[in-house]
Amino acid sequence: MGHKIIPMQASGHRVALITGAARRVGRAIALTLADAGFDVAFTYLSSSPEAQSLLEELRAKGRSALAIRADLTDPVAAVQTIRAQFVQPFDRLDVLVNNASLYEPSGLGDTDVAQMRRLWAIHVESPLLLCRAFFPFLKSSRGHVVNMVDLLAQRPAPPYLAYAASKAGLWNLTLGLAAEMAPEVTVNGIAPGVVEWPEDFPEPRKAEYLRRVPLGRAGTPQDVAAAVLFFCTDATYVTGQILRLDGGRSIA
């Protein structure tokens, strides 16, 4: 059951819905949008303590907030749950951020059909079904969709073939949705390089990666959150674009 904190019903604030926001990049996006005046609904799956602490942080900022537990590898059931819980406190949606992701090794010798379907479900099917479910809200508010893609969608690494292919599907879906949801709704994507190192990532591999980054550093979750805010506020004449947020890695 989702935790709810709803300080002010029908506050008139803009509302954002972010999938997979209890931790890491999604959490930074939620807090950044809250600082910009958005009330925030977000999904999580297994990170219950982090979801509760995020609710408390959002509440401390004076924002209405809603946490929804949903498994986006089961897209039909998850989207039904998200929509049913979302409409209880909120009657509008201005921003949808499809951030939830599974980053799993999925090379030629490692992956199986079940994993491929799980990756496709969370990276392609869920964003599509969420856009369909919330299109009337987004259309009414002349809102914005931001999809979190990945540089691997264009530069796949052999150990992550199925993951990269599913993110390439989301890249293509972003372009199609931009055409389909215009003119009322903008749809853009962000393709980060490294913006937060995996836990226990070896230091020599970090150094090797950064040698190929012209700006000479890894990105941060805050870098991604700032780009999301740009697409949701200032970029009103931008749609169907994928921002490579990679410190120049894609040109090196």
Contact 123/165 with Cβ under 8 angstroms?
Answer: no
Contacting residues for 114 by C-beta, under 8 A, at least 6 apart: none
- Catalytic status, residue 209: no
Active-site hit among 139, 160, 163, 237: 163
What does the DSSP 8-state code read for residue 214? T
DSSP letter string, 115-134: HHHHHHIIIIIHHHHHHHHH
Give the pair of three-digit tokens for residue 200.
């226990």
Where do the DSSP E strands lie in 35-136? 39-44, 65-69, 95-98
Q: Is 167 a catalytic residue?
A: yes
Between strands 186-192 and 242-245, the pairing is: parallel
Among residues 236, 191, 223, which one has the least CA distance to residue 32?
A: 223
Cite the active site residues. 163, 167
